[in-house]
Structure 1
Amino acid sequence: MNTQPSSFAPAFAEPFTMAQVDAYDWSSLAGELDGFGCAILPKLLAPEECDAISRLYPEERHFRSHIIMARHGFGRGEYRYFNYPLPGLLGGLRTALYPHLADIANRWNERMGVEERYPDEHAAFLKRCHEAGQRRPTPLLLQYVPGDFNCLHQDLYGELAFPIQVAILLSEPGRDFTGGEFVLTEQRPRMQSRVDVVPLRQGDAVAFAVHNRPVRGTKGSYRVNLRHGVSRVRSGMRHTVGIIFHDAR
């Protein structure tokens, strides 16, 4: 696998990415993820970085596949999966975010009685994915226009699935588009689903549970099931980049 940065190189080199990600209050973010299944990382990307990634969408050389959601019953809209090598900005973010989220994921698995533990570095986790036959990159760029939406779903691409992922809003609500809110639902046993509409601005990221997370009950922790989606875009165009940490078959 070639993980070297491509020729796309906005003014955001990987070492600076690491420093910016490390600067967040990860204790507070972990508390949000533990309590609600999601946490916002404000201003993870600058506006010019968001615009640079959005402009990649029509350039097919950066992508391995193009998905039209309506053809698969996923909703309306479209997205493209990036090829390896990832753009340097996205590869750097994937590398920088993973260790912080792996700490949380390992605690979650311990509480849920799941044996899987995640290594400290993302390269080591990708090696596990590739040894299991999961070699296709999963970061993706999504595009929505009026009437588009993304049905509630979970991004699971093989036996190995990292339990937390990150989505970064690349467009500015109210200026570039209206509607199109990020939505997270949580189903607890014998209860109605809980819905969380997550407010994001351009450059904000949301880290959220892909599938299950632990919730503390009277007899210890139990698992709850989560799904995520995007509400109907009412005007304009909305771009989002999704950073998924496991690779696909």
Structure 2
Amino acid sequence: MDMGLKGRKAIVCASSRGLGKGCAAALADEGVDLVINGRNPDATNATADELRARGVEVTVVLGDVSDPATQDALLAACPEPDILVNNNAGPKLRDFRELDREAILAGVTQNMVTPIELIQKVLDGMAERKFGRIVNITSMSVYSPIAGLDLSSGARAGLTSFLASISRSAIDRNVTINAILPGKFDTDRIRAGLEFGAKKSGSSIEAERERQEHAIPAGRFGTPEEFGRTCAFLCSAHAGYITGQNIKLDGGLFASAF
């Protein structure tokens, strides 16, 4: 299927690795020119080279996307984005008793405030140009709690509620805002979770991985590549009637009829 995206421009935050990289790669395959972002120069530049090999223009903006200066640099590199993929690292796994006010505010800034700030900066321009796709990478923990990720879950749930009406405010001008809620994907984040779970249960990382995969109806962790293809569809010309939705991508792990 032709996604109707060739020649479009996208900002993909936190895209040097993992799910963000998967989204950037899928968009590159559709002919989208990219501004990618990461904090590690070596990893981010290596990803940029991989993406350029797919035949698109790629600009690198280094820095923490929660830093206003980094956000300004992203918009300077791509003043009129057609697509914004909001992604950011979440707070580390820890017992909620270990969180002080500074840590809580930092987590909310990472996973709620930052995407809102970027949406504020791009939404009206997208509406004027009559095309815009905003995809927020949140988490299945918005629906189903994960021990140790309470701060991440709360901040992402706040983002979801905050955007509920905003996502319906510009669809008449062909601008959509949706979220993808990843379950367990084979990324650095899940590997940190495996270490946390193994330590908590007194088992090995391999045993913890097997236990977690066995609990997923699909019998495996997801891949960044398949996550990216879902993102590309939500960004496509064919998804203009989808907005305000939270797409669960979890191999059937969350058991619910609705």
**Pair in the same fold by TM > 0.5:** no
- Calculate the TM-score normalised by the size of structure 1: 0.28
Higher relative contact order (CA 8 A, sep 6+): 1
- Calculate the TM-score normalised by the size of structure 2: 0.27
Higher helix share: 2
